[in-house]
Structure 1
């Protein structure tokens, strides 16, 4: 009766959302303070006070609630273009920017604009599971390439082996969800050389779609290399959900590298797809707010403290984990091979965690540390007991 493609996807489900619902059930049973929920990457800090002040100021601005060009307010796009030009030294203008209702919409619109049926899109595992839907919705095929074990860095030779005549794009997510890895400049430049060879061999570019919602959430002096400066055939998809702690407001942008051949045609395609997929335009009020807070980030020091606290608990209780350089996730190794069974067992200890299999990387599990410090501090005994039971000790 209904779409077989969609009903099949419903059966597969989302491991993140499934655990989120499990967590809600546990909270009703035991009380919220007695459940240690690390499932959902839902920013814990409030937006910066200046953002809230701007909302009050802008809400009554004449014309802000009316239709605007589908790509967004011209002055907003000009501010974002100027910011990107300063950050990347690439000559962005407002004509390379489209405002979108969050990065998810931006990725969907980008895939709709790029893909023909049967085209392949490379993703680096572990990867955000929704990428599969963003690609297959438009007739594409997702091709996972595992990251390097131990560091979750780019395995450039493996990526080169995965490229075929059908490869249309690859999605890079740095800092990465779920590993927190930040891809270093040397490996990105090596990847660029691979993509240039592929373009020569197959007579068509491989577009790099850079998914950047965590680009400002980095620690210990780390700086995320500018993808637009490294890859000429690049498309930035960014959102303010994480940097400004505004996930419920759905605001972001797509930026097309001006070095792309026929970049103007791609922009026209993006605007057309944004309209025909039903997004129409990004929320006007939050376009204006975002454009005035491009340099800001909410809760960075709090995230760093929570990262360190949860990492210390994992080390003290015998887990293996790489200290992440960005985002707000830890991605430890499961003490047992079956990471799904391990995450199910965790519920017995009132720990809500997400299996690595849901991110295309079995044997690990994800912890979102954008939670209260109290939740982290009180979880230590539960993590210790979970590991002991999993190992039969």
Structure 2
């Protein structure tokens, strides 16, 4: 009988379109070599393009110095890390967060995947809007869930509440919200989040089964123009808030994040216990000891949001002057311009030939756009602009 070396589940994950496109880009495009070429301008991932600050390095170095014999022992969620996270979150989301409702995780990524498995069973449906973070579908499929996708409103990229309401069924268990949104930079306003909360409350009552909201918030401290960020947790108590330090600190390789349960969610203890149980059963998905010991110091640090805003303004102004259509993001560190031709993948390939690396909108299930990451240096941005202009002109007749 024929031997199949990988499981059907593995095949289903690999067949997820955004996942397949992402891995084709990582494995077969020569990206790993090209990103190190000084002649190439890399605007793909939210990676650092300058050396880490001394404050960040010192925080990790100090956290690596053992203070007792259990310093490097098995860790679940360390109380000092939970307390520091809760205190910082109270400043960002105006709720009385407490340490006992926070569980440390391997990045926001880990918090999302564990949350899915804690509240949903195989066959349940998870609803999210397009364009999404490109790994939602893969995480849902891995958990045995059924992804249900709706398009965001355009050109605002706001949530389409009517579309969300239309796809909710008796099998709906999770709705994912990502604000500030990757890749669009949209920050959903309070009135939208309040209406979404009403929608989910009504649907939960109608179905006789609670719909949970997973709020993916790695950028909740990266907002521009003095805006105030609002979390869905302010309006819907059955929210699982997932946070990553990788964006705020621009250190995505140091896997550190948490799950936070709003104080108004009733009977949260079973859910928190289940979260820890799944973390253990899935392979001890807790941040390592050094990262947890460092959290109190890390909570004092942040990427330079004002400098990011300066880069946003320079890039947006320059692209618009060339003739690109691009919104000015309200948060995150991405731009999401329209491709000047319908085939965004072809346009991105042309940019790559010119030494400019960006991501196609197709990777975010939104063809006709492309994503630019603002974590590149200002010097890189300035040097890349003539190449963006040349690529645009090459698409124009005559």
- Fold shared, TM-score > 0.5 on shorter chain: yes
**Does 2:138 correspond to 1:133?**
yes
Partners of 1:48 and 1:298 within 8 A in 2 = no
What is the aligned partner in structure 2 of residue 386 from structure 1?
Answer: 391
Aligned residues: 389
Please, which of 83, 94, 99 is the counterpart of residue 78 of structure 1? 83
**Does 2:78 correspond to 1:67?**
no
What is the aligned partner in structure 2 of residue 32 from structure 1?
Answer: 37
Question: How far apart are the structure 2 equivalents of 1:295 and 1:275?
Answer: 29
1:181-238 deviation per Cα after TM superposition (whole angstroms, max 9, x unaligned): 1111111111111111111211122211111111111111112103322111101110
1:30-62 deviation per Cα after TM superposition (whole angstroms, max 9, x unaligned): x82322221112133554543322223222132
User: When the two structures are superposed, what TM-score results if normalisation uses the length of structure 1?
Assistant: 0.92
Partners of 1:16 and 1:39 within 8 A in 2 = no
**How far apart are residue 97 of structure 1 and its match?**
1.0
**How far apart are residue 25 of structure 1 and its match?**
6.5
**Does 2:242 correspond to 1:219?**
no
Please, which of 259, 275, 279 is the counterpart of residue 264 of structure 2? 259
Gaps of 5+ in 1: none
Please, which of 313, 319, 322 is the counterpart of residue 314 of structure 1? 319
* Residues 348 and 45 (structure 1), Cα distance of their counterparts in 2 relative to 1, 3 Å cut: closer
Question: How far apart are the structure 2 equivalents of 1:103 and 1:392?
Answer: 45
Partners of 2:56 and 2:301 within 8 A in 1 = no
What is the aligned partner in structure 1 of residue 237 from structure 2?
Answer: 232
**Does 2:12 correspond to 1:5?**
no
**How far apart are residue 268 of structure 1 and its match?**
0.9
**How far apart are residue 93 of structure 1 and its match?**
2.7
User: When the two structures are superposed, what TM-score results if normalisation uses the length of structure 2?
Assistant: 0.91
User: In structure 1, the residue corresponding to 2:150 is in which secondary structure?
Assistant: strand
**How far apart are residue 391 of structure 1 and its match?**
3.5
Partners of 1:211 and 1:236 within 8 A in 2 = yes
Please, which of 274, 282, 288 is the counterpart of residue 283 of structure 1? 288
Question: How far apart are the structure 2 equivalents of 1:277 and 1:238?
Answer: 19
User: In structure 2, the residue corresponding to 1:236 is in which secondary structure?
Assistant: strand
User: In structure 2, the residue corresponding to 1:144 is in which secondary structure?
Assistant: strand
Question: How far apart are the structure 1 equivalents of 2:130 and 2:107?
Answer: 22
Please, which of 300, 318, 331 is the counterpart of residue 326 of structure 1? 331
**Does 2:342 correspond to 1:337?**
yes
Partners of 1:215 and 1:224 within 8 A in 2 = yes
Please, which of 364, 370, 380 is the counterpart of residue 365 of structure 1? 370
Partners of 2:42 and 2:356 within 8 A in 1 = yes
Partners of 1:125 and 1:359 within 8 A in 2 = yes
What is the aligned partner in structure 1 of residue 169 from structure 2?
Answer: 164
**How far apart are residue 145 of structure 1 and its match?**
1.5
* Residues 345 and 108 (structure 1), Cα distance of their counterparts in 2 relative to 1, 3 Å cut: same
Question: How far apart are the structure 1 equivalents of 2:161 and 2:12?
Answer: 33
